[in-house]
């Protein structure tokens, strides 16, 4: 789960990291009021779960409160890579002398936390990573003992940070690691960690922040779960989460219902394999879980049917421990609860598959067709979509 910039910075502040004292506005007038209260130059920043906000025109400097209002009215409602902006952060302007990049993340390959820093922070850090990866200093952390002072020294000297900033840098790096460890984060990123002149002093300040939380860790952080912004998620994905189903919306026409994540992906791939030449593909990823009981199947059907692009449903169940006759009964029950006229291709394989198919056949649902293999099921689903066109 991603946090918004303003949420991440508030969390960082709890761990002793200096952040600007900005506030969030939901409309242009609020933006004006906040800018007035802050005084002087402000920055109006779109709060959306998408990178590249600056380049998309979602971040603007305002000389006075009137300009802040003007910028906010333009940025609110803006579309950034498919995300609609519905709130902006108004931060005080800063006298920036330099931009550092600092992040803690999981290194999947090394199976350890990783802290990274670069003296070339700012908008082009991805470009730096691509063209000059040696400019990003990386240090692995033993998760049992945490980040140590000497490692921060290594980091600071590795990016040629002026000595007079080391003390501040150490406090921020330790705070960031603590924040990561205490939040079940998969990423805590400050970009830029700016070198700013304030009241005649040079200080480090987190002008932007990004945090991603491990979904599996959210259970023990209700305060972070409460920060979830559902306004940017497709309604189907929200409903699926509430029904404990794993669902990802895609843009094809074949609604897929499968048990198991790997098989669900393979089923999507198969529909695209046959359908691609006709512009036909999967409408979603949906793992109905190992059990595939009637309630789950009904919930899954409802979610698939709420996607208006869906022209055909493909149900692919491998009965391992689950019995196909149980699953078949679940499907029939769900069909009564959530009636549909769309063509449905059902493939049941594994334990009691003959009994399962017999139940499907005896229900005499005219829109339902059986299939023996995944190959055949995907082919039939593509044919059904073509027939419906």
Partner 1 sequence: MAILVDKNTKLVVQGITGKQGRFHAQQMIEYGTNVVGGVRAGKGGEWVLGKPVFDTVKAAREATGANCSIIYVPAEGAADAILEALDAEIELIVCITEGIPIQDMMKVRAILDTSNSRLIGANCPGLLTPGQAKVGIMPGYIATPGPIGVVSKSGTLTYEAVYALTQRGIGQTTCVGIGGDPINGTSFLDVLQMFEEDPNTEKVVLIGEIGGTDEQKAADFIDKHMTKPVVAFIAGQRAPAGKTMGHAGALVEGNVGTAAEKIEKLKSVGVKVASYPEQIPDLIMQ
Options 101, 177, 180, 247, the catalytic residue: 101
The pair phi, psi for residue 25, each rounded to 5°, is -120, 140
Give whichever of 169 and 247 is closer to partner 1, judged by the CB atom: 247
Q: Of the candidates 54, 92, 158, 350, which one interacts with partner 1 according to CB under 8 A?
A: 350
Q: Which of residues 232-251 bind partner 1 (CB under 8 A)?
A: 246, 248, 250
The pair phi, psi for residue 128, each rounded to 5°, is -60, -45
Question: Any contact of residue 373 with partner 1 (CB under 8 A)?
Answer: yes
Q: Which stretch binds partner 1 (CB under 8 A): 7-15, 29-37, 61-69, 277-285?
A: 277-285
Question: Any contact of residue 282 with partner 1 (CB under 8 A)?
Answer: yes
Question: Any contact of residue 123 with partner 1 (CB under 8 A)?
Answer: no
Rounded to the nearest whole angstrom, what is the least distance from the CB of residue 171 to partner 1 in the complex?
A: 22
**Structural contact between residues 370 and 380, judged by C-beta atoms closer than 8 angstroms:** no
Q: Of the candidates 84, 95, 142, 149, which one interacts with partner 1 according to CB under 8 A?
A: 142
**Residue 33 DSSP SS3:** helix
Exposure string for 17-52, b = 16+ CB within 10 A, e = fewer? bbbbebbbbeebebbbbbbeebeebbbbbbbbbbee
Question: Any contact of residue 109 with partner 1 (CB under 8 A)?
Answer: yes
Question: Any contact of residue 10 with partner 1 (CB under 8 A)?
Answer: no
What is the signed CA dihedral for 274, 280, 285, 286, rounded to 10 degrees?
A: -90
Question: Any contact of residue 284 with partner 1 (CB under 8 A)?
Answer: no
Give whichever of 263 and 365 is closer to partner 1, judged by the CB atom: 263
- Annotated active-site residue 178? The verdict is no
Q: Which stretch binds partner 1 (CB under 8 A): 55-63, 101-109, 295-303, 325-333?
A: 101-109
**Residue 142 DSSP SS3:** coil
Question: Any contact of residue 266 with partner 1 (CB under 8 A)?
Answer: yes
Exposure string for 316-355, b = 16+ CB within 10 A, e = fewer? bbbbeebbbbbbbbbbbebbeebebeebbbbbbbbbbbee
Q: Of the candidates 7, 186, 296, 312, which one interacts with partner 1 according to CB under 8 A?
A: 186
Q: Is the backbone of residue 256 left (phi > 0), alpha (psi -120 to 50) or beta?
A: beta
CA-CA distance, 289 to 269, in Å (whole number)? 19
Q: Of the candidates 259, 296, 312, 369, which one interacts with partner 1 according to CB under 8 A?
A: 259
Give whichever of 91 and 287 is closer to partner 1, judged by the CB atom: 287
What DSSP letter does each residue of 171-189 carry, written as one string? HHHHHHHHHHHHTTEEEEE
CA-CA distance, 83 to 37, in Å (whole number)? 29
Give whichever of 68 and 374 is closer to partner 1, judged by the CB atom: 374
CA-CA distance, 49 to 73, in Å (whole number)? 19
- Annotated active-site residue 189? The verdict is yes
Rounded to the nearest whole angstrom, what is the least distance from the CB of residue 74 to partner 1 in the complex?
A: 27
- Which structure tokens are listed for 385? 């979509």
CA-CA distance, 37 to 22, in Å (whole number)? 10
Active site residues per annotation = 101, 189
Binding site for partner 1 (CB under 8 A): 106, 108-109, 111-113, 142-144, 181, 184, 186, 214-217, 219-220, 246, 248, 250, 258-266, 268-270, 272-273, 281-282, 285, 287, 290, 318-321, 349-351, 373-375
């Amino acid at each position: 789960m991603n946090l918004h910039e303003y949420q991440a910075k508030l969390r960082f502040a709890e761990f002793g990291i200096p952040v600007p004292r900005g506030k969030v506005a939901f409309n242009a007038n609020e933006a004006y009021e906040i800018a007035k209260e802050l005084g002087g130059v402000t920055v109006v920043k779109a709060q959306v779960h998408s990178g590249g906000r600056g380049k998309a025109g979602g971040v603007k400097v305002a000389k006075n409160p009137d300009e802040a209002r003007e910028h906010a009215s333009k940025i609110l409602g803006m579309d950034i890579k498919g995300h609609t902006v519905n709130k902006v952060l108004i931060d005080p302007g800063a006298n920036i002398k330099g931009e550092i990049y600092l992040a803690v993340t999981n290194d999947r390959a090394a199976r350890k936390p990783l802290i990274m820093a670069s003296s070339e922070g700012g908008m082009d850090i991805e470009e730096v990573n691509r063209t000059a990866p040696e400019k990003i200093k990386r240090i692995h952390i033993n998760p049992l003992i945490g980040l140590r002072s000497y490692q921060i020294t290594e980091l600071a000297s590795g990016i040629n940070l002026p000595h007079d900033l080391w003390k501040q840098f150490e406090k921020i790096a330790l705070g960031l690691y603590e924040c990561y460890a205490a939040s079940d984060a998969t990423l805590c990123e400050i970009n830029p960690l700016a070198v700013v002149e304030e009241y005649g002093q040079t200080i480090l300040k987190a002008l932007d922040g990004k945090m991603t939380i491990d979904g599996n860790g959210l259970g023990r952080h209700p305060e972070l779960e409460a920060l979830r912004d559902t306004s940017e998620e497709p309604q189907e994905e929200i409903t699926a989460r509430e029904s404990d189903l794993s669902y990802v919306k895609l843009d094809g026409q074949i609604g897929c219902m499968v048990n198991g994540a790997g098989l669900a992906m393979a089923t999507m791939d198969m529909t695209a394999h046959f359908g691609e030449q006709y512009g036909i593909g999967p409408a979603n990823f949906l793992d109905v879980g190992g059990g595939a009981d009637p309630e789950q199947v009904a919930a899954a059907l409802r979610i698939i049917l709420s996607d208006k692009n869906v022209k055909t449903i493909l149900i692919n169940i491998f009965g391992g421990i689950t019995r196909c006759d149980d699953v078949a009964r679940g499907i029939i029950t769900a069909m009564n609860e959530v009636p549909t006229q769309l063509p449905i291709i059902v493939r049941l394989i594994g334990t009691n598959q003959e009994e399962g198919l017999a139940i499907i056949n005896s229900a005499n649902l005219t829109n339902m067709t059986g299939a023996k293999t995944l190959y055949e099921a995907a082919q039939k689903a593509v044919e059904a979509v073509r027939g419906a066109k």
